[in-house]
Chain A
Amino acid sequence: MTQHDDYTDIEELLGVYALDAADAPERHLVEQHLLVCEVCRVELSQHRTVLAALSADMEPAPDRIWARIAGTLDAQQPGPANIIPLKRVSGITGFKPLHWAAGVAAAMAVVLGGAVFTQANQINDLNIRVAAQEQEITALASVPAGNPLEQAVTVALDDPGAQVATLTAEGTSGAMLIVVLPDGTGYVYQSTLEQLPDGLTYQLWAVIDDRVISAGVLGNRPNIVPFHIDPEGLQGLVITREVSGGVAQSEAEPVVSWFSA
């Protein structure tokens, strides 16, 4: 069988795959193919949209289901409801940028439970590495047109008011690129962080006015992930490694981070 025949066979399976009517080996075949074929991903998405339309007119679900869901969430609640405020860093506005970044980073380490973040004398080294990694990542990055999220990133990067942050860490080669627009819309758009095993996820935290707020979970192999934050008072962005689903408060050490100068 030729490559073309293989491709045609897989295309033919997309309809039955969308209907969950394929056998297990065929499902596996399609899933492997979908990882590398944008055309087929689009077709599958279209089939699923059609099938969703077929299910569009239904009676409301009973309230008791929501009650059970809410009960499960309450049972999962991991401790105090609110994010613990960071210890204020006094005199922040009078600090030179590097000292200020070190101050916030030290406060972050208290909340995130790590000792990772940082000494002021490491910042210069970090800045040098950031520049090198930014160059490396930019070279690796390609933002193809077609996918709406990719298009959104392209538009965001063209926005003169956008802020691009490169998240890095001492002693690791992984990095993550994030763009944040003036309205607070942001995208993780490039990552060289290692893929995490199933059951773990990367989680993004924003440091805003000295407080650490979850900005979303990114999955175990982040590609393009949108998020939204309050852009006023944004001081830094931090990635931690968490259990799948993320946590309300992290006790993990930062994987990579960025602080505004």
Chain B
Amino acid sequence: MTLGDRNTGRPRFLSEGAAAMRPTELSTLGDAPLVTAIGRFSQEALGEAYRRHSGAVHGLARRLLRDDTLAEEITQEVFLRLWNDPEKFDAGRGSLRSFLLAHTHGRSIDLIRSESARRTREDKDARLAPGSGQDVEEEVWEMALADSIQEALSTLGEGERRPIELAYFGGHSYREVAEILGEPEGTVKSRIRSGLKRLRVSLDAAGVSNA
């Protein structure tokens, strides 16, 4: 079943009530009622969540793992988890997108840190940029981010930007980041936090932090 023909079907488990909303109605729902409908077994609601967020979820997993098969597995897992445990999403704690991406990132990092995936990834790093793992993150970063986000990032100094890049897109622990950059661990830890705070202010100003 494709996303397109999914939209013409009836809900799988429940034919009545709010869970039986038409796709046009679902598209107007906010995060909390959408997840509520998912909790009531509305496959259309899950499809709507997929339509809204799968690009970001899959893109992040792909960027982190550099492996299409693994990225697709993670994407599938993230949305099935939303289906199976919708109550884990708390609308009071942030958007559905940030909830899904946090899970995507966490699971991808788990994979990266597992031995086999690490080997695959390091092989690809070596092929893409021999002798410079850091350059790969830099390259991916530059290619993938929108102008508004790059602009916000440019407000960070090198000391804050690089640790965030290496940890978030490189999948390194902050201790590894400290080693790569030759900085004390405490300094890296503080700069990541202050960098995220500064980034938030910049993204707020640019109107792009409501993801």
Taking Cβ atoms with an 8 Å cutoff, the residues of A that contact B are 11-16, 18-23, 41, 45-74, 77-78, 81-83, 147-150, 184, 201, 206, 208, 211, 213-219, 224-230, 244-246, 248
Shortest C-beta distance, A149 to chain B (Å), equals 4
Shortest C-beta distance, A13 to chain B (Å), equals 7
B residues 117-163 touching A (CB-CB < 8 Å): 144-146, 149
**How many interface residues does chain B have, given as a range?**
35 or more
Taking a contact as CB atoms under 8 Å apart, the answer to whether A53 and B13 are in contact is no
The interface residues of chain B lying within 8 Å CB-to-CB of A53 are: 149, 203, 208-211
Shortest C-beta distance, A243 to chain B (Å), equals 10
Taking a contact as CB atoms under 8 Å apart, the answer to whether A66 and B72 are in contact is no
The interface residues of chain B lying within 8 Å CB-to-CB of A184 are: 18
Taking a contact as CB atoms under 8 Å apart, the answer to whether B36 and A248 are in contact is no
Partner of A52, one of B40, B90, B101: B101
- Supposing A54-B149, A66-B50 touch, asked if A48 and B41 sit within 8 A by C-beta, the answer is no
Minimum-distance CB pairs A-B, first 6: A58-B59, A15-B193, A61-B58, A219-B87, A52-B98, A61-B54
Contact with A along B159-200 (1 / 0, CB 8 A): 000001001100111110100000000101110111111011
A230–B87 CA distance with the chains assembled, in angstroms: 20
- What is the predominant secondary structure among interface residues of chain B facing chain A? helix
Partner of A245, one of B17, B36, B85, B98: B85
The interface residues of chain A lying within 8 Å CB-to-CB of B14 are: 81-83, 213-214, 248
A47–B198 CA distance with the chains assembled, in angstroms: 10
Taking Cβ atoms with an 8 Å cutoff, the residues of B that contact A are 1-4, 6, 10-19, 32-33, 36-37, 39-41, 43, 46-47, 50, 54-60, 72, 75-76, 79-80, 83-88, 90-95, 97-99, 101-102, 105-106, 109, 144-146, 149, 164, 167-168, 171-175, 177, 186, 188-190, 192-197, 199-200, 203, 208-211
A66–B4 CA distance with the chains assembled, in angstroms: 10
Taking a contact as CB atoms under 8 Å apart, the answer to whether B102 and A48 are in contact is yes
- What is the predominant secondary structure among interface residues of chain A facing chain B? mixed
- Supposing A16-B174, A50-B196 touch, asked if A248 and B13 sit within 8 A by C-beta, the answer is yes
Taking a contact as CB atoms under 8 Å apart, the answer to whether B18 and A230 are in contact is yes
Q: Among the interface residues B19, B41, B58, which one has the most CB atoms of the partner chain A within 10 A? A: B41
The interface residues of chain A lying within 8 Å CB-to-CB of B33 are: 226, 228
Q: Among the interface residues B85, B197, B211, which one has the most CB atoms of the partner chain A within 10 A? A: B211
Taking a contact as CB atoms under 8 Å apart, the answer to whether B172 and A56 are in contact is no
Taking a contact as CB atoms under 8 Å apart, the answer to whether A81 and B190 are in contact is no
Taking a contact as CB atoms under 8 Å apart, the answer to whether B172 and A21 are in contact is yes
A223 nearest CB neighbor, chain B only: B90
Q: Among the interface residues A69, A228, A230, which one has the most CB atoms of the partner chain B within 10 A? A: A69
